[in-house]
Amino acid sequence: QQHIKEVEAFTAKTEAEIEEFRIKYLGKKGVLTTFFAELKNVPPAEKKEFGQTVNALKQAATEKVAALKATAGSSKARQTQYGDLTRPGEPLPLGSAHPISIVRSRIIDIFSRIGFTVSEGPEIEDDWHNFTALNLPEYHPARDMQDTFFLQTDPDILLRTHTSSVQVRYMENHKPPIRTISPGRVYRNEAISARSHCFFHQVEGLYIDKGVSFADLKQTLQYFTQALFGKSRIRLRPSYFPFTEPSAEVDVYWGLETETDYKMTKGTGWLEIMGCGMVDPNVLDNCGIDSKTYSGYAFGMGIDRIALLLYQIPDIRLLSENDMRFLKQFKSAP
């Protein structure tokens, strides 16, 4: 009985230990052989019980050896030429969304809630879609508003200076009612500084239907600034764009509560966030939409500037330097 307890409690780490254990109990000169030899000396009255106990010990020892060998075998199988394949993996570092992506998704989300679709177009454009169709014929002085990168070999091919080009393409291929926004990267031949870069990102919007008015535009902008900034007090300042008439710059009232507000708004409380206006009838006609039947509004904003604003990022260049220490800070929506 004592031996059975010992056998059941036995554990072994190495194969040598298991083998030693096997020999001790089950070997030719092992404990069991001795007990079986002793059987003939046991008085007949006790023989039966003695025999049963010895058999139980034999079974326990046999099972123990088998069990130990099985676990030793499987832990051996884990050690392959690649190392231990059952070890848990190294934790993968989770990436985070780029601030431009976060802001772009928020803007798309806000406009999709009121029925705007998302449209995209090429970054390498032709003159017609970037300028001429938008009421900016060749030699029009307003072309200077957007300093352009041209392809050296072909002055007709350029890097788009705004995503208004996408809206031209959209109008050429869709009938009103049209409600779409075009997010995308744009390029301008500008000196790089903390405030401006030679490429940046825009979201432009276009709404065309029968009877669309400036009041519709203003209401949509108010809805948008409330949803994005939590501020719905806006101001429309008369401005000029060749493709809209009338045109306006949109300022949002940021307030003057903190010193940062004061600095950001140069003491006025107002921040310019986008341009907008009623689509010029010439543009509609250029794109195959009858300007006598339809009217519409358009607006355009820079995602980068808005990201700088929402996250209080001091320099636009940080957005394209891919410094991990900077990027890692953006985990969720602003």
d(C-alpha 162, C-alpha 185), whole Å: 8
| Residue 162 binds ligand PHE, judged by CB under 6 A | yes
6 is known to lie in a ligand binding site: no
Q: How far is the CB of 211 from ligand PHE (least distance, A)?
A: 19
List binders of ligand PHE among 114-133 (CB under 6 A).
none
Please identify the residue of the shown chain whose CB is closest to the bound ligand PHE.
300
234-241 and 150-151 strand pairing: unpaired
Question: One symbol per residue from 206 to 245: x for binding ligand PHE (CB under 6 A), - otherwise; what is it?
Answer: -----------------------------------x--x-
Please select the residue that binds ligand PHE; options are 32, 203, 276, 313, rule is CB under 6 A: 276
Q: Which DSSP letter does residue 141 get?
A: G
d(C-alpha 88, C-alpha 86), whole Å: 6
Q: For residue 332, which amino acid is it?
A: S
| Residue 176 binds ligand PHE, judged by CB under 6 A | no
Residue 321, classed as helix, strand or coil, is coil
Give how far Cα 278 sits from Cα of 226, 289, 302, 313, Å: 22, 14, 19, 32
Please select the residue that binds ligand PHE; options are 242, 300, 305, 330, rule is CB under 6 A: 300
Contact 275, 248 (CB under 8 A): yes
117-118 and 178-187 strand pairing: parallel
25 vs 224, which CB is nearer to ligand PHE?
Answer: 224
Please select the residue that binds ligand PHE; options are 295, 299, 307, 319, rule is CB under 6 A: 299
Binding site for ligand PHE (CB under 6 A): 162, 164, 204, 241, 244, 247, 275-277, 298-300
